């Protein structure tokens, strides 16, 4: 906090000319902190963006995986790093729109201690079922869930995960019940659903290859439009108008990072996201789409998603230590 204060005072006093920040930055390698292990969507996005930005800015970008507490450990590390633009967070939306309302005892205030730079990527969930389940459409799935006794069980990547909350949104909208079985991560939930321990889950589009191989059956997708990787699968909104739950990944910096540095990073990120290299890399990673917004749009997105998830968390009376 002392360093952040000194930077702000020196800048205000004119000792650090505003233009010099953007002109000189970056002068050394930049750390991109990923909150999940290698292979997950935020990590794949971090590596792709890091490589592209390294080329554009002529400085190395290296990935530092800091795993645990649904991303809070990574967020806390970045929030308490020097606000100089050399330690940045590639974070999923849940860090800002779910975790603050789910972890009652957390001392981390991500919405005050971290500031948004740019959105990076967006993806959506796929409602997928074990192929043995006798349903092929969303309507058939809802009908079966309503009449099943005992109730059907669905998997998620953990209590309060977006896999979990998206299914709860659908249950509330369509009016059916299912038993929630939380697992430690999306991979474990996928394994459970393919093996028949559970019959359904909201899976990432990164599992498109499993779906195409017949190990999963896709019923519907959760986005506002059909997935590029699964164009023949209808959206939930085609049955329940207005239903939408898109997940996104963004780039964040410690509060107090000089605005010219933020502006330069945002400009370079948006340039990278328009490149065919990034578009193709994201697509191969499971239909992830580059997501470009203005800073006001990003801030409004965070507020809108917070409102959505606060209601779900309160309705379910969810709280994690």
What are the residues facing 124 on neighbouring strands? Answer: 246
Region 70-78 average pLDDT: 92
Q: Are residues 183 and 290 part of one domain?
A: no
- Digit-coded pLDDT (tens) for 241-296: 999 999 999 999 999 999 999 999 999 999 999 999 999 998 887 778 999 999 99
The model's pTM is 0.85
Averaged confidence pLDDT in the chain: 89
Going by C-alpha positions, the residue among 196, 202, 189 that lies closest to residue 158 is 189
Q: What is the pLDDT of residue 250?
A: 97
Written as six digits, the tokens of 293 are 């917004």
Which of 178, 204, 238 delimits the end of a domain? 238
Statement to judge: residues 68 and 16 lie in one domain: yes
What does the pLDDT look like over 181-235, one tens digit per residue?
A: 998 888 889 999 999 999 999 988 777 888 888 889 999 999 999 988 889 999 9
Residue 97 located in a structural domain: yes
pLDDT score of 16 more than 50 = no
DSSP-based three-state secondary structure for 106: coil
Task: Establish whether the linkage from the previous residue to 150 is cis, with ω within 30° of 0.
Answer: yes
Whether residue 142 is found in the same domain as residue 185 = yes
Q: Could you list the residue range(s) of the whole structural domain that residue 73 is in?
A: 2-122+246-316
- For residue 72, what are its two tokens? 């809070």
Assign 4 a pLDDT band (cuts: 50, 70, 90): low
Residue 22 domain-assigned?
yes
Last residue of a domain, one of 187, 218, 238: 238
Band of residue 70 on the pLDDT scale cut at 50, 70, 90: confident
Using DSSP's 3-state secondary structure scheme, residue 263 falls into helix
Strands (DSSP E) contained in the chain are 30-34, 61-65, 87-92, 114-129, 153-156, 179-182, 200-204, 217-221, 246-254, 289-290
Per-residue model confidence (pLDDT) at position 287: 76
Are 129 and 81 members of one domain? no
Residue 12 and residue 94 in one domain: yes
Tell me how far apart the alpha carbons of residues 62 and 139 are, in angstroms, rounded to a whole number: 46
Q: What is the pLDDT of residues 28-42, one digit of tens each?
A: 999 999 998 887 788
Are 252 and 198 found together in one domain? Answer: no
**CA 113 → CA 30, 96, 287, distances in Å?**
19, 11, 32
Question: Residues of 38-77 as b/e, b for ≥16 C-beta within 10 angstroms?
Answer: eebbbbbbbbbbbbbbbeebeeebeeebbeebbbbebbbb
CA gap 245, 224 in Å, rounded: 8
Does 321 map to a domain?
Answer: no
> What's the CATH number where 52 sits?
3.40.190.150
Count of domains for the chain: 2
The last residue of a domain, from among 218, 238, 258: 238
3-state DSSP call for residue 1?
coil
- Whether 316 has a pLDDT exceeding 80, the answer reads yes
- Calculate mean pLDDT across residues 142-148: 97
24 and 57 assigned to the same domain: yes
Do both 113 and 130 map to the same domain?
no
């Amino acid at each position: 906090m002392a360093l952040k204060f000194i930077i702000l005072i020196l800048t205000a006093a004119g000792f650090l000319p505003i233009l010099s920040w953007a002109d000189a930055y970056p002068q050394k390698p930049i750390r991109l902190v990923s909150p999940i292990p290698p292979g997950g969507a935020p990590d794949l996005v971090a590596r792709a963006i890091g490589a592209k930005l390294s080329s554009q800015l002529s400085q190395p970008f290296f990935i530092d995986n800091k795993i645990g507490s649904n991303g809070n450990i990574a967020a806390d590390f970045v929030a308490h790093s020097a606000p100089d633009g050399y330690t940045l967070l590639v974070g999923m939306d849940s860090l800002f729109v779910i975790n603050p309302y789910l972890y009652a005892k957390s001392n981390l205030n991500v919405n005050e201690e971290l500031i948004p730079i740019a959105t990076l990527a967006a993806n959506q969930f796929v409602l997928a079922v074990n192929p043995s389940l006798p349903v092929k459409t969303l309507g058939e799935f809802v009908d079966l869930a309503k009449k099943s006794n005992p109730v059907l069980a669905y998997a998620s990547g953990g209590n309060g995960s977006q896999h979990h909350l998206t299914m709860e949104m659908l249950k509330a909208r369509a009016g059916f019940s299912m038993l929630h079985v939380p697992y430690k991560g999306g991979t474990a939930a996928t394994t459970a659903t393919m093996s028949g321990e559970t019959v359904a889950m909201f899976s990432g589009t990164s599992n498109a290859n499993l779906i195409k191989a017949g190990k999963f059956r896709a019923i519907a997708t959760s986005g506002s439009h059909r997935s590029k990787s699964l164009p023949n699968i209808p959206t939930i909104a085609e049955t329940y108008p207005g239903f939408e739950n898109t997940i996104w990944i963004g780039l964040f910096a410690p509060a107090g990072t000089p605005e010219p540095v933020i502006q330069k990073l945002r400009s370079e990120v948006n340039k990278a996201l328009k490149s065919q290299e990034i578009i193709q890399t994201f697509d191969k990673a499971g239909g992830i789409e580059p997501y470009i917004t203005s800073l006001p749009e990003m801030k409004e997105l965070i507020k809108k998603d917070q409102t959505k998830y606060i209601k779900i968390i309160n309705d379910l009376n969810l709280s994690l230590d």
